[in-house]
Amino acid sequence: MRKLYINGISSISPQNEAIFKGSTPQQYENNILPAQAQDYKSLLQPMMLRRMSKGVKMGLFCAKKALDEAEVKIPDVILVGTGQGCMEDTEKFLSNMLESEEGLLSPTSFIQSTHNTVAGQIALDLNCNGHNMTFTQNSVSFESALIDALLQQNDQNIKNILVGGVDETSNELTGFQRLDGQIKKEGHRNLELYSSQTSGTIISEAAAFFALGSEKLKHSYAEFKDVEIINSLDEKILESRIENFLKRNDLLVSQIDAVILGKNGDIRFDQYYDQLQNGMFSATCQLGYKHLVGDNNAISSYAFWLASKILKEKKIPRIFKLNALNCARPRNILIYNQYLGRNHGLILLQDL
């Protein structure tokens, strides 16, 4: 089977990418974390920018940066995972429609409310006629896109695949998540997320995109090995499912050098991670990221970004660490994430 190399990466999140180099982390207290501002104009046309929602902006910007780094002009495939999709425009059209009681409406926000707007806009910008897919399945939206990456690379003509995760927030629709217990009731400092004894989490807007290629470059980051999604599972069999996943990739638990966990401070569901921390990965270097970038349906793409950085630079910044164990030479990194106890995702990356 052909290999898939991570040849370009880019992330926009509530933290700067420089956090990997040790810059001071951004702190938030109101449980909805905005993405860091970017110089969007450097890559996107100002006229287009004005019409773009945050998700489209972040997605297109990251896509271009990742492709640039991989020296790819037009990828063969564009894959996007986005849970909530284009919430800003959905909310805009919905509230205009309700307020006007189905009166005369401008189509602009309706046009841009479609879930595949980001993937479509990337294709439009790059003039890319290739396979173009958008997945939206809660916390495995990005993982679903990764599955498609593996499927598409079975075609020998496919050389470069752009894959990414993006989710934006909007006032009302994201605000509703405070009402149904998804977002913590009381304002919570992001850096103290894991010591929270309450339900709910902190939600964010973010995007991360990757240029995957069948050819290894001098500056490639890592190899994307495998991915699996499991819609629902009993906590008791989580460990055996992970073992099977590793076995499929000829790996033992002891060969995992670092595990990146999607722990989000929700006391109702963090036991999935606790179990792994105290169980099969108790002797493994454990990392977390949601205390820095919050949670959203495509945030595992941030973990993918983090794993890529670690495998290339062979270092693990302390700010991500959940335990005191070190890992001198990270080779295999496992990413595990779930949301509200459902939609479990496993991703495996390997060094070159």
Partner 1 sequence: MKGIAVTGMGIISAIGSNLEEIYSSLISGKDGISYPEILATNHTNLPVGEIKLSDLELSEILNLPKAHFYTRTALLAMHAIKELLKKSELAQFPEDTGFISGTSVGGIDKIEAHFYDFQDIVEYRKYIQAQHPGFTTEKIAEYFGLTQTVTTISTACSSSANAIMMGAQLIESGRLKRVIVGGSDCLTKFTLNGFSSLKILSENKNRPFDNDREGLNLGEAAAYLLLEAEDCIKGKPVLGRVKGYGNSNDAFHQTASSENGEGAFQAISKAIKKAGILSSEIDYINVHGTATRNNDLSESVALKRIFGRNVPDFSSTKSFTGHSLGAAGAVEAVFSLLSIQNNEIFPNLNFDTEMSETGLTPVTNFQKKKIRTVLSNSFGFGGNCTSLIFQKDA
CB of 86 to partner 1, least distance (A): 10
Among 13, 53, 137, 196, binds partner 1 (CB under 8 A): 137
CB of 218 to partner 1, least distance (A): 30
Euclidean distance between CA atoms 159 and 78, whole angstroms: 12
The residue among 306, 258, 262, 323 whose CA lies nearest residue 13 is 306
Residue 264 is a binding residue for partner 1 (CB under 8 A): no
CB of 255 to partner 1, least distance (A): 23
Judged by CB, which is closer to partner 1: 315, or 342? 342
Residue 301 is a binding residue for partner 1 (CB under 8 A): no
Q: In this structure, are residues 194 and 263 in contact, taking their beta carbons and an 8 Å threshold?
A: yes
If 0-12 CB within 10 Å is exposed, 13-18 middle and 19+ buried, where does residue 166 land? buried
Q: In this structure, are residues 206 and 35 in contact, taking their beta carbons and an 8 Å threshold?
A: yes
Pairing of strands 5-12, 206-213: antiparallel
If 0-12 CB within 10 Å is exposed, 13-18 middle and 19+ buried, where does residue 282 land? exposed
CB of 161 to partner 1, least distance (A): 13
Could you tell me the two tokens for 122? 């990337």
If 0-12 CB within 10 Å is exposed, 13-18 middle and 19+ buried, where does residue 24 land? exposed
From residue 17, how far is each of 23, 289, 307 by CA, in Å? 9, 13, 13
Q: Which residue has the tokens 């999935």?
A: 272
Residue 138 is a binding residue for partner 1 (CB under 8 A): yes
Residue 131 is a binding residue for partner 1 (CB under 8 A): yes
Q: Which residue has the tokens 């598409």?
A: 152
Residue 120 is a binding residue for partner 1 (CB under 8 A): yes
Site string for partner 1, 159-198 (x = CB under 8 A): -------------xx--xx-xx-x----------------
Stretch that binds partner 1, among 26-34, 76-84, 272-280, 326-334 (CB under 8 A): 76-84
Residue 124 is a binding residue for partner 1 (CB under 8 A): yes
CB of 72 to partner 1, least distance (A): 16
Euclidean distance between CA atoms 220 and 5, whole angstroms: 7
Q: In this structure, are residues 132 and 120 in contact, taking their beta carbons and an 8 Å threshold?
A: yes
Judged by CB, which is closer to partner 1: 163, or 258? 163
Could you say which residues in the range 318-347 bind partner 1, by CB under 8 A?
Answer: 342-343
Site string for partner 1, 220-259 (x = CB under 8 A): ---------xxxxx--------------------------
Residue 34 is a binding residue for partner 1 (CB under 8 A): no
List residues binding partner 1 (CB under 8 A).
78, 83-85, 87, 90, 93-95, 97-98, 101-102, 104-107, 110-117, 119-121, 123-124, 126-138, 140-141, 144, 147-148, 150-151, 154, 172-173, 176-177, 179-180, 182, 229-233, 297, 342-343
